[in-house]
Amino acid sequence: MTQDIDRARDAALEAIRTAGSVADLDQVVADHLGKRGTLATLKKGLGSIGDPDERKQAGASMHAARAAVEEAADERRASLGDAEIDARIADERLDLTEHRHAGSRGHLHIVTQAWERLEDVFLGLGFSVAEGPEVETDWHNFEALNMGEGHPARGEFDTLFVDHVPPGGSAGSTLLRTHTSPVQIRTMLTQEPPIYVVAPGRVFRRDTPDATHMPVFHQIEGLVVDRGISMTDLAGTIEAFTKAFFGSGFTSRLRPSYFPFTEPSAEFDIQRPDGSWLELGGCGMVHPEVIRAGGLDPEEWSGFAFGFGIDRMAVMRHGVADIRDMYVNDIRFIEQF
């Protein structure tokens, strides 16, 4: 796998080097980094590598290969862009107002950037990426997560319901998922343990938008199910993630908390190099009832889970004062990043 990744990377670098125009380069980037590109195709295969060490190593190579190709493309784009602009200025002397610098091309939204960086870091730690639907059943979103009907914790999720009665189901049992935790259940029901997955995705709550809340936002869920998993594995994973994502000057801590789907439960904070603490998300040991709802025997399998917001990552990284600004699509805001 690592050899395939290296080969795909070398092919991409060669194609970038020989691209004759920005348009050619765009095509080369799409062919190699795009959704159906060579590297993306290999990335999809990572999850099926059985051996955890091998998967981890392949994840790290994938991360390095993408970074090398992106950097080479950026450099090539800048030099090709300059040459093309020079030629155009010579050609269209009268139309200088249309002139744009290579640096003002579009780019990914800052939440998408945070989402992809998170995926990359967890791939490097040996996780693969799982997905679930945005329209969920009450069972996956609540019941299977140890929040049966009438559980007080349901009140904390201001749920948006969908007008849809599934065959054999009842009215009000279809909803927009309020968190990414139902992906835990779907993963356990479809994958054999050992399970090491993260599930980034869009979630929904009936909230009035303000500077720190949006009714549509993003979370990333983590789930590990294996034999003999303990709280130490959870703390070590959170710490390794903190250092890989934020930098070696950051550390993490767990504080006791409560979630219905984990026991014991904790909240995790990260400490910045200046000593200040920041609350990041929730985590804990997967509750035996949740393991059982996932079709597994809690006597045989144990695990941990965690979940936190992605939008806040982008807000912190870029110093965004009002979360709503990220979704208005005002070019003056977007162009800053």
Strand-pair partners of 267: 255, 282
Strand-pair partners of 255: 267
Q: Which helix (H) or strand (E) holds 18?
A: helix 2-18
To the nearest whole angstrom, how small is the minimum distance from the Cβ of residue 65 to ligand DAH? 30
Give the binding range for ligand DAH (CB under 6 A) out of 43-51, 88-96, 133-141, 305-313.
305-313
Taking CB under 6 A as the rule, does residue 284 contact ligand DAH? Answer: yes
Please give the sequence-ordered ranges of beta strands (E in DSSP) within the chain, or none if there are none: 128-129, 135-137, 174-176, 195-204, 216-226, 251-259, 262-271, 277-286, 302-309
Nearer to ligand DAH, 92 or 134 (CB): 134
Compute the 3-state secondary structure of the chain and give helix, strand, coil in percent, each to the nearest 5.
45, 20, 35
Strands of the sheet containing 302-309, edge to edge, are: 128-129, 195-204, 216-226, 302-309, 277-286, 262-271, 251-259
Among residues 141, 146, 181, 302, the one that binds ligand DAH under rule CB under 6 A? 181
> For every residue of 100-112, which 3-state class applies, written as one string?
CCHHHCCCCCHHH
To the nearest whole angstrom, how small is the minimum distance from the Cβ of residue 200 to ligand DAH? 13
Taking CB under 6 A as the rule, does residue 122 contact ligand DAH? Answer: no
Count of residues touching ligand DAH (by CB under 6 A): 11
Give the binding range for ligand DAH (CB under 6 A) out of 4-12, 66-74, 168-176, 278-286.
278-286
SS3 244: helix
Give the binding range for ligand DAH (CB under 6 A) out of 34-42, 63-71, 282-290, 321-329.
282-290
Q: What is the C-alpha to C-alpha distance for residues 215 and 159, in angstroms, rounded to an integer? A: 10
Nearest to 254 by CA among 276, 274, 283: 283
Taking CB under 6 A as the rule, does residue 176 contact ligand DAH? Answer: no
Among residues 46, 306, 311, 315, the one that binds ligand DAH under rule CB under 6 A? 306
Among residues 175, 262, 320, 326, the one that binds ligand DAH under rule CB under 6 A? 262
To the nearest whole angstrom, how small is the minimum distance from the Cβ of residue 170 to ligand DAH? 24
To the nearest whole angstrom, how small is the minimum distance from the Cβ of residue 134 to ligand DAH? 14
To the nearest whole angstrom, how small is the minimum distance from the Cβ of residue 122 to ligand DAH? 14
Site string for ligand DAH, 198-227 (x = CB under 6 A): -----------------------x------
Q: CA-based diameter of the chain, in Å?
A: 77
Asked if 125 contacts 240 with a C-beta cutoff of 8 angstroms, the reply is yes
Give the binding range for ligand DAH (CB under 6 A) out of 23-31, 188-196, 247-255, 279-287.
279-287
Beta-carbon contacts of 57 under 8 Å, excluding residues fewer than 6 positions away, are: 2
Taking CB under 6 A as the rule, does residue 76 contact ligand DAH? Answer: no
Taking CB under 6 A as the rule, does residue 259 contact ligand DAH? Answer: yes
Taking CB under 6 A as the rule, does residue 312 contact ligand DAH? Answer: no
To the nearest whole angstrom, how small is the minimum distance from the Cβ of residue 59 to ligand DAH? 21
42: alpha, beta or left? (left if phi > 0; alpha if psi -120 to 50): alpha
Taking CB under 6 A as the rule, does residue 282 contact ligand DAH? Answer: yes
- Is the bond into 298 cis (omega within 30 degrees of 0)? no
Taking CB under 6 A as the rule, does residue 182 contact ligand DAH? Answer: no
Q: What is the C-alpha to C-alpha distance for residues 279 and 20, in angstroms, rounded to an integer? A: 48
Among residues 37, 307, 311, 313, the one that binds ligand DAH under rule CB under 6 A? 307
Could you tell me where the DSSP H helices lie in 218-337? 231-246, 288-293, 311-318, 325-328, 331-334
Give the binding range for ligand DAH (CB under 6 A) out of 147-155, 168-176, 303-311, 314-322.
303-311
Q: Which residues bind ligand DAH (CB under 6 A)?
A: 179, 181, 221, 259, 262, 282-284, 305-307
